[in-house]
Amino acid sequence: MTFRPPKSSDKKAKEAMELAEASRETDWQHPSFLAELFMGRFQPNLIFPFPEQSSEDREVGDKFLEKVESFLKERVDPDEIDRTREIPDDVLRGLIELGCFRMKIPAEYGGLGFSQVNYNRAMAMISSYCGSTAVFLSAHQSIGAPQPLKMFGSEEQKKKYLPRLAEGAISAFALTEPGVGSDPAKMLTTATPSPDGKTYVINGLKQWCTNGPVSDIIIVMAKTPSKWVDGKEKKQISAFIVEKDMPGFEVRHRCDFMGLKGIQNGLLNFNNVVVPKENLLWEEGKGLKLALVTLNTGRLTLPAACSGMVKACLRMAREWSNEREQWGRAIGKHEAVASKIARMSSTLFAMESITWLTSGMADTGQHDIRLEAAMAKLFCTEAAWHFTDETVQIRGGRGYETADSLRARGEKAYPVERMLRDARINTIIEGTSEIMRLFIAREALDGHMRLAGDILKPKIPWGRKAVCAAKAGIYYAGWYPKQWLPLDVFPKFVHHGQFGKHMRFISQSSRKTARNIFHAMMRYQAGLEHKQILLARIVDIGADLFAMTASIANAERMLAANPDDRSPLALADAFCRQATRRVNHKFRALFNNDDASEYRLAREVLKGEMEWLEDGIVDVDYSTEHVETEESKPDEAVPPSRVAMPVG
């Protein structure tokens, strides 16, 4: 059985898929560990030896981190930022002076030219302390103007904007709209070229743009006129550099969230904003690809930030589990709490391993990291949410109490409540977990799609299918039997010592995953794209196998550097054991599950057939007239340019 969406939505769904496909990076210029793993080829050489930061680069990072740490401790009060919804002006100026806004800008344009590893070390530290400050900095340079300019800007654009950004001009990235979240095909913002071709006129509304209300320079995605190829319309999305002083640009509303109270995030209106053609980034129609490629490295900040948060959580959970006594012993001595501590610490080791592995891969430029970055984002953001929640649980009632309230009654002001609120957004921004799983699944299937894609597409003529089947048949005749061979028996990987058995398991599971992908393709064919839960299980298996490999490689690196300390081995081993159980469970559920019946049940619920379940609640009408409150207004007291250093 295949799960097709209702017919009426088919056209829109098709358009959305076509746009997403057209914006994919199609080439694999460098190897990818995960792309290989999903094809049944476990290639440890793509991860081992674990990338090591050079001592010069480490020294640069160490010096910077020392300054950042003292600045944070002396000048930044994260609870005050949370309470007042403001990062004070002097804090932002201080961060600009320290260089925090130019970490990723190349030195030739006035930046610090940090490696991804050093940038992420700084972001991990800041995130462990103040989520709002970290997101402010990250929106500016992980996805804001410096990154796409560096990757796709012309030399003129780089010379014009990067020095300004290095001096403190703040930037943002505006893709989302009220109707455009995960699906950019629905974009309404337009950029219309003028008849003389010298300018574009931008009209539209962008939503939830982080830093938008205080930005000097914003990368805006907008629709440019469609192209017609073979009589078919091809939608074009393009990226533009927009400056806040351009007439017609207006901040409509400052948004307020569950957490990250100090960020400046808003609804931005573009009313006939005239942008010179020189401000088009890359080429017309390349905007979505630019956004996706920017996010491939931009996404690496989130794993670092999440690792930083979980480090802070572990510290608070460890101290409290030793200090708090209930039922005659420290709560950490009760098995239920001890298990949480063990899982938190071993998963944190995996999170860190993935973070530094992917950051190191990005620095070498020798790997295609689109899959690894997405996997790192998925794994670390979900783990961070889980473990901030577990920290609240370990703290008991105090976990639910604000730091201000704890401080006021003379208790240790652990900010767990704030951290939980701040952590929640990470599985939503920069690609929701659900979209990350679909993105990873698409890339994981790419090897098969290249070989057998035409067989799976419904509208391909039978003649083409037959040619494709013949070619694919030859390949699969050699490939498929290999996926069953018992190649991973002792003494393979024996040089990995205690990790040998885990390495054998990863290798075996890689082939088992590949043959299951193949079975799923054969069974569901074109309908596979709608089997989201099946695909999610495959992706989650890949995530655990990736995290296991990264953890083993990292533990071996640490052991080589310091043979007396065997604690990394214990952490990696514990993580591998937990992951092995999860992977085995997911394999069992691949084709033996309740997906179909749950889907049918959800359809009934969504049609309203079980509305009686909602009986007995207050019948509230949640629709609202637009009311502008003092809270929602953009901050007039602090004009948008307030934190920009004098430029030019």
Residues found near ligand FAD in the complex (CB under 6 A):
139, 172-176, 181-182, 208-210, 257, 260, 265, 425, 428-429, 432, 434-435, 438, 532
Kindly state the smallest distance separating residue 206's Cβ from ligand FAD, in Å.
7
Is residue 609 part of the annotated active site? The answer reads: no
Longest CA–CA span in the chain (Å) reads 82
Give whole-number Cα distances, 423 to 392, 396, 472, in Å: 12, 18, 45
Kindly state the smallest distance separating residue 119's Cβ from ligand FAD, in Å.
18
- Burial readout 375-397 (b: 16 or more C-beta within 10 A, e: otherwise): bbbbbbbbbbbebbebbbebbee
Kindly state the smallest distance separating residue 209's Cβ from ligand FAD, in Å.
5
Contact in structure between 382 and 347 (CB atoms under 8 Å): no
Kindly state the smallest distance separating residue 5's Cβ from ligand FAD, in Å.
9
Indicate the residue among 50 and 101 with the shorter CB distance to ligand FAD: 101
Q: Tell me the torsion sign for CA atoms 30, 32, 37, 38.
A: negative
- Residue 497, C-beta contacts closer than 8 angstroms, at least 6 positions apart: none
Task: Select the residue whose beta carbon is closest to ligand FAD and give its number.
Answer: 181
Beta pairing, strands 329-330 & 249-254: unpaired
C-alpha radius of gyration, the chain, whole number: 26
d(CA 366, CA 369): 9
Q: Which of 378, 512, 505, 523 is nearest to 443 (CA)?
A: 378
Beta bridge pairs of residue 205: 269
Q: Which tokens belong to 55?
A: 């001592």
Contact in structure between 419 and 391 (CB atoms under 8 Å): yes
Q: Which tokens belong to 134?
A: 């970290």
Kindly state the smallest distance separating residue 255's Cβ from ligand FAD, in Å.
7
Kindly state the smallest distance separating residue 151's Cβ from ligand FAD, in Å.
17
Beta bridge pairs of residue 153: none
Beta pairing, strands 329-330 & 217-229: unpaired
d(CA 233, CA 241): 26
d(CA 357, CA 153): 28
Kindly state the smallest distance separating residue 491's Cβ from ligand FAD, in Å.
44
Indicate the residue among 44 and 181 with the shorter CB distance to ligand FAD: 181
Strand, coil or helix: 176? coil
Kindly state the smallest distance separating residue 515's Cβ from ligand FAD, in Å.
26
Indicate the residue among 532 and 584 with the shorter CB distance to ligand FAD: 532
Indicate the residue among 257 and 587 with the shorter CB distance to ligand FAD: 257
Beta bridge pairs of residue 280: 240
Catalytic residue (choose from 372, 401, 417, 430):
430
- CA 275 to chain centroid, in Å, comes to 30
Contact in structure between 383 and 408 (CB atoms under 8 Å): no
Task: List active site positions.
Answer: 430
